[in-house]
């Protein structure tokens, strides 16, 4: 194992299966994750307490934990039944829930302090009915990270504290693309001109009629009359007077969604961008620690997962494109997915490459420095599966100066029409790239 620095740009779920592989390649691994995922239990935290989305970060921390008690605690979710969930939460805060059994008493009291802190903040918000917190399916790991962030006042600091508390190797870093205490949302502009607002709405739309946040009114997402802007603006004005203004599309609850929804979008995505609460495009600056890591990395990996909502939200941040292109010694590897998804339906490997290149250019914002940015300045290698569902035109890609590396497919995965990498072959190829 080397001590060369690997930086992995990714979202949560898909790359979690490769964490052990990255850890086997080097003692020095940094994971850079977006903070724009507004789905699941994170959506309730964003609605009631605000702040950045930390679901992907919690998911990565949980995957890295080796202490069984802490792993169980951070991965624990409350009941799907609202009343049962509230009772469970009370037991956890009071320290009498069975989930504490695997944690030493001194560690338990340290963790409880942050859960009590977030509990107090939720009680303050409960003075207004519209901001009552819904506890069903709440992630304890998300609550802990939120409590630590609110107490410390820094997302970076909260992540570092949780990593040390849970005894994750000190050589491992987890960095948010943005170090912020505010909520940042993304939108997707489709080629037909439509705009989809919110990461969860882009990736995992509700399958059934969804509840508007803070209200008892349900809207049918498939009924144009029900989801019109005028109706949602009306709901915003009449039922959310005590909540800071949010774009109406973000008022639709994302607490319960299905990741199995994979129907293609009405039109391909032309670009991803950050928005303020009014839906206006903004250009946030990247976390300074993230920029520093990218500049000094020996291997940069754009990992498997959702291209448009896991990788691009990091790459479009100001400073990211410059830091990647400025690092002329690192291998910069696009680890291509084995299958297309809702966000990338119909795309080829070259389309993936062009999308990443365009995002890096976008990150320069008002600077003219990007005018000479080549594809090879952002991606030096494409790693793909031999039986990949995504079309790979090796000749056209290598004409850009990008080397194509074919890796074996895990044949057992193909039976379910899901293509996964043969981990041993992938490890050998990434090791070679790391050492060159």
The mean of the pLDDT values for the chain is 88
Same domain, 428 and 374: yes
- Tell me the C-alpha to C-alpha distance, in Å, between residue 341 and each of 50, 61, 164: 30, 25, 35
Q: Identify the CATH number of the domain in which residue 18 sits.
A: 3.40.50.10680
Same domain assignment for residues 322 and 424: yes
Q: Do residues 183 and 158 both lie within one domain?
A: no
Percentage of the chain with pLDDT > 70? 85
Could you say which DSSP state residue 240 is in? -
DSSP character at residue 90: H
Q: 224 pLDDT band (50/70/90 cuts)? A: very low
pLDDT at 370: 64
User: Looking at the predicted structure, is the pLDDT value of residue 406 above 50?
Assistant: yes
Within-domain flag for 133: yes
Instruction: Report pLDDT for 257.
Output: 57
Query: Can you tell me the distance from the alpha carbon of 37 to that of 186, in angstroms, rounded to the nearest whole number?
Result: 9
56/157 same-domain check: yes
Task: Looking at the structure, tell me whether residues 88 and 146 fall in a common domain.
Answer: yes
Which carries the bigger pLDDT value, residue 92 or residue 277? Answer: 92
Residues 83 and 16 in one domain: no
Say what the pLDDT of residue 413 is: 75
Inform me whether the pLDDT recorded for 23 exceeds 70. Answer: yes
Task: Say if 221 falls within a structural domain.
Answer: no
Q: State the pLDDT confidence band at 244, using cuts at 50, 70 and 90.
A: low
Q: Are residues 13 and 75 in the same domain?
A: no
Are residues 254 and 286 part of one domain? Answer: yes
The answer to whether residues 266 and 379 belong to one domain is: yes
In this predicted structure, what is the pLDDT of residue 263? 75
The pLDDT score that the predictor gives to residue 260 is 60
Over residues 111-125, the mean pLDDT reads 97
User: Would 233 be classed as within a structural domain?
Assistant: no
Q: Which residue has the tokens 């950045």?
A: 52
Examine the domain organization and report whether 293 and 405 are in the same domain: yes
Q: What distance lies between CA 122 and its chain's CA centroid?
A: 24
Q: Kindly state whether residue 226 falls inside one of the protein's structural domains.
A: no
Position 415 scores a pLDDT of 64
Across the range 28-42, mean pLDDT stands at 92
pLDDT at 131: 87
Q: What is the pLDDT of residue 75?
A: 96
Judge if 285 and 431 occupy the same domain. Answer: yes
Which range is least confidently modeled, 157-161, 176-180, 245-249, 339-343? 245-249
Residues 95-108 have a mean pLDDT of 96
Ranges of H-type helices in 263-388: 288-296, 312-315, 320-326, 349-362, 375-378
pTM of the model: 0.90
Overall number of domains in the chain: 2
Residue 427 bridge partners (DSSP): none
Same domain, 274 and 383: yes
Query: What is the four-CA torsion angle of 155, 175, 14, 379, rounded to 10 degrees?
Result: 140
Domain boundary among 114, 147, 170: 170
Is residue 210 domain-resident?
no
Band (229; pLDDT cuts 50, 70, 90): very low
**Which of 170, 192, 220 marks a domain boundary?**
170
Would you mind telling me the total number of residues written for the chain in this entry? 436
pLDDT digits (tens, 9 = 90+) for 288-307: 999 999 999 999 999 999 99
Does residue 222 fall inside a structural domain? Answer: no
Residue pLDDT, tens place only, 359-373: 999 999 876 666 789
For tokens 């119909």, the residue is 346
Domain carrying residue 349: 1-34+177-204+247-435
Q: Which of 151, 170, 189 is the last residue of a domain?
A: 170
Q: Is residue 397 domain-resident? A: yes
pLDDT of residue 110: 95
β-bridge partners, 273: 187
pLDDT of residue 242: 54
For residue 239, the model assigns a pLDDT of 43
Domain membership of residue 89 (yes or no) is yes
pLDDT of residue 254: 61
- The model's pLDDT over 181-200, given as tens digits with 9 standing for 90+, comes to 999 999 999 999 999 998 88
User: What is the b/e burial string over 108-130, where b = at least 16 CB atoms within 10 angstroms of the residue's CB?
Assistant: beebbebbebbbebbeebeeeee
pLDDT at 13 (0 to 100): 86
CB atoms within 10 A of CB 193: 8
Reading the block at residue 280, the tokens are 């206006």
Helix (H) and strand (E) counts for the chain? 19, 13
pLDDT for 255: 63
Closest CA to 143 of 71, 73, 65: 73
pLDDT digits (tens, 9 = 90+) for 344-397: 999 999 999 999 999 999 999 876 666 789 999 999 999 999 888 999 999 999
Residue 224 vs residue 409, higher pLDDT: 409
Tokens linked to 376: 């090879």
pLDDT the model gives residue 214? 52
pLDDT value at residue 1: 76
The whole-angstrom separation of Cα 232 and Cα 248 is 5
In terms of pLDDT, which residue wins out, 40 or 17?
Answer: 17
């Amino acid at each position: 194992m080397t001590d060369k620095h690997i930086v992995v740009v990714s979202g949560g779920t898909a790359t979690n299966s490769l964490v052990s592989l990255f850890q086997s390649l080097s003692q020095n691994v940094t994971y850079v994750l977006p903070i724009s995922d507004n789905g699941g239990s994170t959506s309730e935290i964003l609605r009631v307490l605000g702040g950045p989305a930390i679901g992907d970060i919690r998911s990565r921390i949980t995957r890295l934990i080796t202490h069984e008690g802490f792993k169980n605690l951070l991965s624990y979710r409350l009941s799907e039944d609202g009343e049962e969930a509230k009772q469970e939460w009370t037991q956890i805060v009071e320290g009498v829930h069975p989930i504490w059994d695997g944690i030493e008493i001194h560690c338990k009291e340290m963790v409880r302090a942050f859960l009590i802190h977030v509990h107090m903040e939720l009680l303050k918000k409960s003075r207004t009915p519209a901001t009552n917190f819904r506890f069903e399916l709440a992630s304890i790991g998300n609550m802990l990270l939120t409590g630590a962030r609110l107490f410390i006042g820094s997302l970076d600091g909260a992540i570092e504290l949780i990593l040390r508390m849970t005894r994750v190797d000190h050589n491992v870093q987890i960095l948010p693309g943005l170090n912020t205490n505010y909520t940042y949302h993304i939108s997707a502009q489709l080629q037909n001109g439509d705009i989809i607002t919110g990461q969860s709405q882009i990736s995992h739309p509700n399958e059934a009629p969804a509840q508007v946040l803070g209200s008892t009114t349900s809207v049918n997402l498939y009924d144009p009359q029900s989801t019109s802007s005028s109706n949602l603006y009306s709901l915003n004005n009449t039922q959310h007077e005590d909540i800071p203004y949010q774009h109406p599309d973000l008022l639709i609850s994302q607490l319960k969604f299905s990741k199995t929804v994979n129907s293609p979008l009405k039109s391909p995505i032309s670009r991803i961008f950050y928005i303020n609460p009014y839906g206006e495009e903004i250009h946030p600056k990247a976390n300074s620690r993230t920029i520093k890591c990218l500049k000094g990395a020996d291997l940069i990996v754009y990992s498997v997962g959702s291209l448009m909502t896991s990788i691009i939200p990091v790459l479009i941040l100001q400073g990211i494109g410059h830091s990647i292109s400025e690092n002329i010694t690192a291998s910069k590897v696009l680890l291509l997915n084995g299958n297309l998804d809702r966000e990338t339906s119909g795309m080829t490997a070259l389309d993936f490459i062009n999308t990443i290149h365009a995002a890096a250019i976008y990150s320069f914002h008002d600077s003219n420095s990007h005018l000479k940015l080549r594809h090879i300045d952002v991606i030096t290698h494409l790693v793909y599966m031999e039986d990949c569902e995504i079309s790979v035109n090796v000749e056209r890609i290598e004409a850009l100066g990008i080397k194509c590396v074919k890796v074996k497919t895990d044949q057992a995965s193909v039976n379910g029409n899901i293509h996964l990498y043969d981990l041993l072959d992938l490890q050998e190829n990434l090791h070679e790239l790391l050492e060159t």
